[in-house]
Amino acid sequence: MGEGTFKSIWQNRIIEGMDICLIGAGNLATQLGTALASKGCAFSQVYSRTELSARKLADALNCEAVTQLNQISPRADLYICLLKDDVLPKALPQINFGKGLVVHTAGSLPMRILEAYTSDYGVIYPLQTFSKQRKVDFSEVPFFIEAASPEGLETIRGLVSKLSDIIIPANSDQRQYLHLSAVFANNFVNYLYMVAEDLVNEQGLDPKYLLPLIKETACKVQDLSPRMAQTGPAIRYDTIIIDKQLELLQNHPDWKSLYEIISKGIHQQVQEIY
């Protein structure tokens, strides 16, 4: 048995022996918690301001539900903070973390916001979108991790490796850009889906007809870079079509501005290749 294998078995035992406290009971907390539980992790408490949410997730994880920050026990080995980015900084001073390792999962918050409240801390940032309606396959999710100490990093890596093999160290600066790029690739893309569906709807046609195109557009870049995958009138900056389409958007000035900026961007992007 090599040293690596021994180390990983040993680490696995430590992680399965840890008491984990989940602070938050939203989409990510629910999916992460139940996935870790299914891999043998043990939870001691779930905190949520909303009693129903706390109880529901705590029941699923077979642990205690608490609704006050001062009810969080200082005896857990690991605290995973999954509160919203604007809520977490205000909650932290009200929690006694004892000697536990504390991690947060927020893309745009630096690791150091945890510094004042515990000696060992870090970040687990899964680059994916989570919603109540859909179960995410964690084995395909890239996890970006960061920690204040090498020991903390190994514990975080051991925990995350129960779910995914895609584990990448990234510092707080890198992570805020990862979050920004996720806003473009997810939130903003989803907004364009809405614009497209509204335009089809306004013509009395069913927006569901856009779904195969939406799917193929995402599938295409799985093996082709977006630059190489680009098509459409903006590539050649075909002014006849572009002017016609801008006219069609005259009742939607914001979409018209978007159309202009992105078309110029596409034209420029393609010129960079050729």
Within 185-204, the residues that bind a second copy by CB under 8 A are: 185-197, 199-200, 202-204
87 binds a second copy (CB under 8 A): no
Structure tokens at 38: 């299914």
Tell how strand 120-126 and strand 143-147 pair up: antiparallel
Contact region for a second copy (CB under 8 A) — 2-10, 95-103, 149-157, 174-182?
174-182
Nearer of residues 52 and 192 to a second copy, judged by Cβ = 192
Per CB under 8 A, the list member of 116, 127, 147, 161 interacting with a second copy is: 127
165 binds a second copy (CB under 8 A): no
- Residues 47-66: x/- map of binding to a second copy (CB under 8 A)? --------------------
Reduce the DSSP state of residue 43 to 3 states and report it.
strand
Nearer of residues 7 and 90 to a second copy, judged by Cβ = 90
Contact region for a second copy (CB under 8 A) — 3-11, 44-52, 92-100, 179-187?
179-187
253 burial (CB, 10 Å; 0-12 / 13-18 / 19+) is: exposed
141 binds a second copy (CB under 8 A): yes
The Cα 17–Cα 263 span in angstroms is 55
Query: Can you give the three-state secondary structure of 120-173, one letter per residue?
Result: EEEEEEECCCCECCECCCHHHCCEEEEECCHHHHHHHHHHHCCCCCCEEECCHH
Nearer of residues 50 and 225 to a second copy, judged by Cβ = 225
Cα angle 37-40-45, degrees, rounded to a multiple of 5: 45
Smallest gap from residue 59 Cβ to a second copy (A): 25
